[in-house]
């Protein structure tokens, strides 16, 4: 029986060693690929926002801030608070990127109406289409200025006008930019009353933006109430833990308390996401 146990132990050790060796080889093979892919995607995302920052320097800064933040939290709170803060901080970059990307798109949509009017006026005065875009790119503010300058630069370097306009629509995938690019491409290829087409599109976009802003103003109070109601339980729990920690020890130091906290957090997140979906459907 002891010989059998010895054989089983040896086989177990050998199996664990082989598994560790296989995991090491997989890590050596896949980790550089994953790292290069993540870095290239991050760099591409920053370039979409016209932020030409080295990814390695950005990740180093983000890691240093995470280390300092977790150390400060660890001094005054429990270790699990620091762990939660690190997880939140690690999940924050995609959220920040999507926020600023959507904010940039909204800003471009709001600037597009004035750009279309200015382009139509230039076309009426006898200026060519590319020259009109170049003139508008000098007068309008960022972020649309960056996009129009890139569009004009691509055309000046020999790229087709229609291809450059389509790439602009791909970089800014909004309905307003898509319609604007379609009208510009159609007018450039077929000629005709291009100025009239741009003015008509600008008026339609202006009406749509006005309706969208009205809807956002009507739902602003509901959005703020949803954020407050989502943050209120967390704030009350932290305040109660700071003032009367013995009342929160049951939740923090027992298994049933952990389950109750997990269930409460899940329900709170579900409720917040449902409110966001309702408001999003209302805006659309």
**Dihedral sign computed on CA atoms, order 139, 203, 192, 155:** positive
Distance of CA 30 to the CA centre of its chain: 26
**pLDDT tens digits along 151-172:** 888 888 888 888 888 888 888 8
pLDDT at 6: 64
- The model's pTM is 0.64
Question: What is the per-residue pLDDT for 231?
Answer: 81
Which residues, given as ranges, of the chain have pLDDT below 50? 1
DSSP letters, 13-72, are HHHHHHHHHHHHHHHHHHHHHHHHHHHHHHHHHHHHTT----HHHHHHHHHHHHHHHHHH
**All domains of the chain, ordered by start, with CATH?**
108-211 (1.20.81)
- Report how far Cα 82 is from the mean position of its chain's Cα atoms: 25
List, for residues 190-216, the tens digit of each pLDDT value.
Answer: 766 777 888 888 888 888 888 877 777
- The whole-number pLDDT of residue 150 equals 84
* Amino acid 75: pLDDT: 67
- Please give the pLDDT value at position 120: 83
Encoded tokens for 256? 């049933």
For 275, residues 6+ apart whose C-beta sits below 8 A from its C-beta are 222, 226
């Amino acid at each position: 029986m002891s010989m059998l146990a010895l054989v089983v132990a040896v086989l177990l050790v050998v199996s664990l060693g082989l598994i560790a060796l296989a995991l090491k080889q997989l890590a050596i093979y896949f980790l550089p690929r994953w790292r290069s892919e993540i870095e290239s995607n991050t760099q591409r995302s920053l370039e979409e926002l016209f932020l030409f920052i080295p990814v390695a320097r950005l990740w180093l800064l983000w890691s240093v801030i995470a280390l300092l933040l977790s150390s400060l939290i660890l001094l005054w709170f429990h270790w699990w608070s620091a762990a939660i803060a690190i997880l939140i901080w690690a999940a924050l970059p995609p959220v920040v990127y999507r926020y600023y990307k959507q904010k940039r798109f909204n800003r471009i949509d709001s600037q597009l109406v004035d750009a279309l009017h200015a382009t139509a006026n230039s076309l009426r005065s006898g200026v060519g289409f590319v020259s009109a875009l170049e003139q508008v790119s000098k007068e309008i503010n960022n972020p649309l200025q960056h996009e129009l300058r890139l569009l004009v630069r691509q055309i000046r370097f020999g790229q087709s006008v229609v291809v450059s306009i389509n790439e602009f629509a791909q970089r800014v995938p909004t309905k307003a930019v898509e319609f604007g690019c379609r009208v510009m491409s159609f007018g450039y290829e077929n000629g005709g009353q291009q100025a009239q087409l741009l003015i008509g599109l600008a008026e339609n976009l202006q009406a749509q933006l006005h309706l969208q802003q009205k809807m956002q103003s009507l739902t602003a109070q509901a959005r703020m109430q949803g954020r407050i109601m989502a943050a209120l339980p967390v704030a009350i729990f932290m305040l109660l833990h700071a003032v009367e920690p013995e009342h929160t020890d049951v939740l923090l130091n027992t298994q049933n308390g952990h389950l109750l906290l997990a269930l409460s957090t899940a329900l709170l997140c579900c409720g917040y996401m449902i409110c966001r979906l309702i408001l999003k459907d209302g805006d659309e």
